[in-house]
Structure 1
């Protein structure tokens, strides 16, 4: 390829980039989801009268991925009793407006939907709320089974200030979850907006303490990937994801609603011995345990006898 052809190709590539920028109005990737203010024009009414997006390819792909995940875990024993603390970062980073109207507002909306979905799929489980701001962790609600009380408490405490402290949040939830019986699943879901953590001590010791107590910690970040959050999830067996936009954030949060796989040491199947009575004729007289009458097996048609396999009683 000569220099003229190279310059021509470079010029065409630059023109294509300029066209893309012009079409997107010079918006960043996270801004394009909010660029169309006339979003109602992309909806249509289906046969049942519901509104559906005209271009629903991404929706179909997301549903297909969820069905694949559900099918892959269909034969895995799930934990039925869960104790989950939702830790919400309300530091000054949560007031950023890269999500509309703000990170805090978007988190509150999707946490409310998650709490209701969680109790729908886990009726025997309990949820608690913890907020972190000014370097201090506050227990907003104790572990409980009332979604309305959690939602009401959350909507009344949405002020952002100061720095975030991941260690203080972990210490607080560890004190609550460490008292949970061993048959319950101990889980923490952290919605983290900050890019750092301001801790009073060694957070590595706190992470090992959570790991020893079998507390599964998962983190959903709203900014960039942080090493300490990734390390926390790797050590405790949790999940760590970064939300790309509001729709992705909603999907990541709702992924934690279904019950997780049961802990191996508590998922041992305990078999129950069962016996099936056998109908048989006996040549001797037997006492029926329920009627308290003497019956002879030779007249089995009139008086059927059933012999229990373990106790050898006759019925």
Structure 2
């Protein structure tokens, strides 16, 4: 019987074979539906993988990674007036809805991890800004960390939440009211912003939240919300009204990566449009130097004994770290490097363009890191080797339109997201002609 079955399978015609495959597909589809999985829920990720000329999929994987990196760089680099001194309140939903596991490992743990990354990135991009953290639980809002410019304090406070479990219902109105009260006394030269990580589909509010929205608009507080479940009507209305009709201020995370991207978008200062464009507004700041005392003394910010610190340039009070506001006289104390790091938001580095194969022979290695580029294939293969992903370069080369140097994708990412300067332009501006004599101490003798 087994032999006859094998003979029958071997004699199946092409049409019968296709019919048998379709039956198997319908059987598998029926089993999936019995388990509760619909057809549209399945993602055929393996269909995007294509073997390369060497028989491996390494080139395809590298292309997908490069497309993901390049996608983050394709942003609008138009210089805009932005508020580089920001005051932001981060509100975390700590209710029972955050225990869902649709985002791995859970919404709660993933939100805490991304919140820590957000704090680090926020102060990296906005070193002279202030940040505070609030939590929503049991219909109440509570303070996780006070408004300050020290990222270590915020990260430590967020880490302490890992020992607690999400419970109760959130109150969006209570969180907004507490955040508005914390931002009420902030100076007018800075922005007032609220970022809400909201994983619930309801809000247990004690009053009319529409009155809270009107108060936020009066106090010029901008609210952005990252939803983790689905779009909520009151959240969309809140973000749209407090951001002047901008509907992009409210986003719902599709997956873990999209959740992180929505949070990291807030690290860029929002565009501001002052009513008095021609009037000059000056802000007094102090630039103290670090001092180390022979004997410990109390700092003005924490009242703790320490030997090192920064002395206020106006009243001489000692603070532990910068940037900070002097507790005695209220003077803003920063370092010159903090001001320089905030400058790149006003004049962002322009996007580099893709280099086609026709111009790829100009360079053989990355100008910044020296990484060897792929060799240029024959001309008849240029069309077949082109990538179709938007913004990707088929030659793995990206060119700065100012200095005309070629860079790899990693240097492109590092230059735009970390240093915010082009290595080629910087080296070109500092280049010394070969015929200029230089002394042993590095000084130009022709001056």
Separation (CA, whole Å) in 2 of partners of 1:26 and 1:189? 36
**What are the ranges of 5 or more consecutive residues in structure 1 without an aligned counterpart?**
1-7, 37-51, 273-315
Match of 1:296 in 2: none
- CA displacement at 1:264 relative to structure 2: 2.8
Within 2, Cα distance between the matches of 1:53 and 1:93?
A: 41
CA distance in 2, matches of 1:223, 1:150: 26
Q: Secondary structure at the match of 1:264?
A: coil
User: 2:238 and 2:75 mapped to 1: Cα distance?
Assistant: 24
Q: Which residue of 1 aligns with 2:132?
A: 128
CA contact (8 A) 1:178 1:213 kept: yes
Q: Distance in 2 between matches of 1:78 and 1:213?
A: 18
> How many residues are matched?
244
**Structure 1 position 180, deviation (Å):** 1.1
Partner of 2:115: 111
Gaps of 5+ in 2: 1-17, 47-57, 283-447
Deviations 1:178-220 (A, max 9, x none): 2111111000000001110000000000011001111010000
- Distance of aligned partners of 1:220 and 1:125 in 2 relative to their CA distance in 1, 3 Å threshold: same
Report the Cα offset of residue 89 of structure 1. 0.3
Contact (CA 8 Å) 1:183, 1:266: kept in 2 or not? no
Partner SS, residue 196 of structure 1 = coil
Secondary structure class of the residue paired with 2:217 = helix
2:261 aligned residue:
251
CA contact (8 A) 1:80 1:125 kept: yes
Normalised by the size of structure 2, how large is the TM-score? Answer: 0.49
Find the aligned partners of 1:54 and 1:140 in 2 and give their Cα distance: 45
Which residue of 1 is the match for residue 149 of structure 2? 145
- The counterpart of 1:270, out of the listed 280, 283, 292, is 280
CA distance in 2, matches of 1:260, 1:53: 38
2:212 to 201, 206, 211: 206
Tell me the distance in 1 between the aligned counterparts of 2:159 and 2:59: 30
1:229 corresponding residue in structure 2: 235
SS of the residue corresponding to residue 112 of structure 1 reads helix
C-alpha deviation, 1:227, in angstroms? 0.3
* 1:242 partnered with 2:252: yes
Based on CA coordinates, which of the two structures has the bigger radius of gyration?
1
Which ranges of 4 or more aligned residues in structure 1 deviate by more than 6 Å? 19-22, 25-33
Does 2:94 align with 1:90? yes
53 and 30 in structure 1: CA distance in 2 versus 1, 3 angstrom threshold: farther
Distance in 1 separating the partners of 2:276 and 2:103 = 41
